Amino acid sequence: MTVVTKVESPTTNAQPELTDGFHLVIDALKLNGINTIYGVPGIPITDLGRMAQAEGMRVISFRHEQHAGYAAGIAGFLTKKPGICLTVSAPGFLNGLTALANATTNCFPMILMSGSSEREIVDLQQGDYEEMDQLAIAKPLCKAAFRILHAEDIGIGVARAIRAAVSGRPGGVYLDLPAKLLPQVMEAEAGGKSLVQVIDPAPAQIPSPSSVTRALDILKGAKRPLVIFGKGAAYAQADDEIRAFVEKSGLPFLQMSMAKGLLPDVHPQSAGAARSTVLKDSDVVLLVGARLNWLLSHGKGKSWGEPGSKKIIQVDIEPKEMDSNVEIAAPVVGDIGSCISALLDGLGENWPTPPAEWIEQISAKKEQNIAKMALRLKKNSVPMDFHGALGALRTIIKERPDAILVNEGANTLDLARGIIDMYQPRKRLDVGTWGVMGIGMGSAIAATIETGKPVLAVEGDSAFGFCGMEIETICRYNLPVCTVIFNNNGIYRGTDVNPSGGPDVAPTVFVKDARYDKMMEAFGGVGVNVTTPDELYRAVSAAMDSGKPTLVNAVIDAAAGTESGRIGNLNPQSVVGKK
């Protein structure tokens, strides 16, 4: 318990020790094992950050709240504790809100804590400094939103926020801290007693035995079974149980983007290189912590084979997720650790290996696809194409499997996801459920702060533009982050021209031959410009060896890249008057 000051009591001459709202917030977080704050200082929370640092918390100051928020979300994903993002009122709050909504969408636990203006003035709309009813605005974008008005409620308010963020399906929580709350004083002893250490914040949720039996019966009868792991499975940190279940059952598996590495992508049972075949031809699919959203074509359509050809088993902590897009033949509701343990137990001693014909079909397809890809990855052309450059980075991660890979862009994302094999759980962080651009630098910062591991951030030049100023943050904290910009002079490509012939360039192109590496030098980091896969490999290896903040400008053929990467089908295009 932090004691702020001692004052003379007029009646007793005793000296009651006092604390205040600032210190109660800090003590409440620390009591619950939260030791890092990501944020941007300003009115009314500047002192909160200062005092948190004085009290031994790690306070990481960003240049823009959105990236502090993305960092908090990723901290939550990596640690199963809510990441904290601290912002100023109205504009800072709104900047953080994008990340709060993103965390909720991705099921990452985080708490956005924002200072806010005088309630009396805000509620009468009398025009206070940064006036905004932040609580009302945050509510629809997160799991829960709370406002604390009295210092004695800080303990319970922080406890509610933590439990709301991590229990059940994890997500974002908003905590409103009015300016008047923070300097409120109370006796330190009573303050200490008002704090709450959350007991069992994310209780195990055991699946019903009958749901497990139902699932196993369907799985046993499968001719062409498949397991799909999503980032919920990575989040659950049930790595050993998952591995045991996969290896004992012999089931082929796919891993969604941020689940890659849960089992090594090079695992013999991985069907990653035969993705479209197994999605189409499987007859039973076991989904583990993956939603049937757009990333899995909603579980229907051509990529899923004939309608009615599949039975789906779904393991998820959120009961409402079941039947969200298609019928779920066997819902297993519970936390992934408990569910997979129950399924593993249920395999018993004589679980049949999946039909040999199916396994052979998958192997043949894998071999074919891997051989095809190998040729493209060896290309040493100048200027580089995506495959040549990614071939080099693939080797880097193979040699450094405990490094964390951050990845965003359009083509840079789509191709890297398939090409760069991951070997360990929770090592791949990317654009997530929304496919949002700009998560890169915030994710990279949180990844190394939370794990102490080096980070390789592979960024499209467009994606980097959304968060590029945070390289100053990386340099300021001297973080072991190597950022590689795939610079093809524009969004998707750098070759579009203005069809009108007017003086403006096309909306999708950037300054030609920009040197992003020089930005890094401005902040004392290492900047390198590379034009070949060999140079790229050498520059990144050196950066990872040195741990120095580095930015590698990788010159990619401006004509390489397709519109919207692999999701061009989602981009409506005019058929009328296109020039």
By CB under 6 A, name the binding residues for ligand ADP: 106-107, 169-170, 230-232, 235-236, 256, 258-259, 289-291, 293, 295, 316-318, 321, 335-336, 433
Closest CA to 484 of 420, 547, 426, 440: 440
Residues ≥6 apart with Cβ < 8 Å to 209 = 342
Tell whether residue 39 is a contact of Mg ion (CB under 5 A).
Answer: no
Closest CA to 251 of 276, 218, 214: 218
What one-character-per-residue DSSP string does 521-543 give?
A: HHTT-EEEEE-SHHHHHHHHHHH
Reported as half-sphere exposure (CB side, CA atoms, 13 A), residue 434 has a value of 16
> Measured from the CB atom, is 180 or 298 closer to ligand ADP?
298
> Measured from the CB atom, is 176 or 414 closer to Mg ion?
414
Alpha carbon distance 117, 88 (integer Å): 10
Closest CA to 552 of 488, 491, 493, 483: 483
Tell whether residue 157 is a contact of Mg ion (CB under 5 A).
Answer: no
| Identity of the residue numbered 437 | M
Q: Which does 335 bind (CB under 5 to 8 A by kind): Mg ion, ligand ADP, none?
A: ligand ADP
Alpha carbon distance 235, 247 (integer Å): 20
Applying CB under 5 A, which of residues 460, 468, 525, 527 lies at the interface with Mg ion? 460
Q: Token digits for 67?
A: 């990236």
> Measured from the CB atom, is 4 or 258 closer to ligand ADP?
258
Q: Which does 66 bind (CB under 5 to 8 A by kind): ligand ADP, Mg ion, none?
A: none
Tell whether residue 553 is a contact of Mg ion (CB under 5 A).
Answer: no
Q: Which does 461 bind (CB under 5 to 8 A by kind): ligand ADP, Mg ion, none?
A: Mg ion
> Residues 171, 135: contact at Cβ < 8 Å?
no
What is the nearest approach in angstroms of Mg ion to the Cβ of residue 462? 5
Tell whether residue 488 is a contact of Mg ion (CB under 5 A).
Answer: yes
Q: Which does 107 bind (CB under 5 to 8 A by kind): Mg ion, ligand ADP, none?
A: ligand ADP
Q: List C-alpha distances in Å: 457 to 127, 303, 405, 439, 549.
A: 43, 31, 6, 10, 11
> Measured from the CB atom, is 51 or 509 closer to Mg ion?
509
Q: Which does 488 bind (CB under 5 to 8 A by kind): ligand ADP, Mg ion, none?
A: Mg ion
> Measured from the CB atom, is 301 or 572 closer to ligand ADP?
301
What is the nearest approach in angstroms of Mg ion to the Cβ of residue 491? 6
> Measured from the CB atom, is 80 or 180 closer to ligand ADP?
80
What is the nearest approach in angstroms of ligand ADP to the Cβ of residue 43? 36
Stretch that binds Mg ion, among 190-198, 358-366, 458-466, 540-548 (CB under 5 A): 458-466
What is the nearest approach in angstroms of ligand ADP to the Cβ of residue 105? 8
> Measured from the CB atom, is 239 or 318 closer to ligand ADP?
318
What is the nearest approach in angstroms of Mg ion to the Cβ of residue 389? 12
Tell whether residue 461 is a contact of Mg ion (CB under 5 A).
Answer: yes
What is the nearest approach in angstroms of ligand ADP to the Cβ of residue 292? 8
What is the nearest approach in angstroms of ligand ADP to the Cβ of residue 203? 11
Kind plus residue range of the DSSP H or E element containing 460: strand 455-460
> Residues 166, 80: contact at Cβ < 8 Å?
yes
What one-character-per-residue DSSP string does 176-207 give?
A: EEETTTTT-EEEHHHHHHH--PPSSSS---PP
> Residues 45, 37: contact at Cβ < 8 Å?
no
What one-character-per-residue DSSP string does 233-287 give?
A: HHHTT-HHHHHHHHHHHT--EEE-GGGTTSS-TT-TTB-GGGHHHHHHH-SEEEE
> Measured from the CB atom, is 461 or 472 closer to Mg ion?
461
Residues making contact with Mg ion (CB under 5 A): 460-462, 488
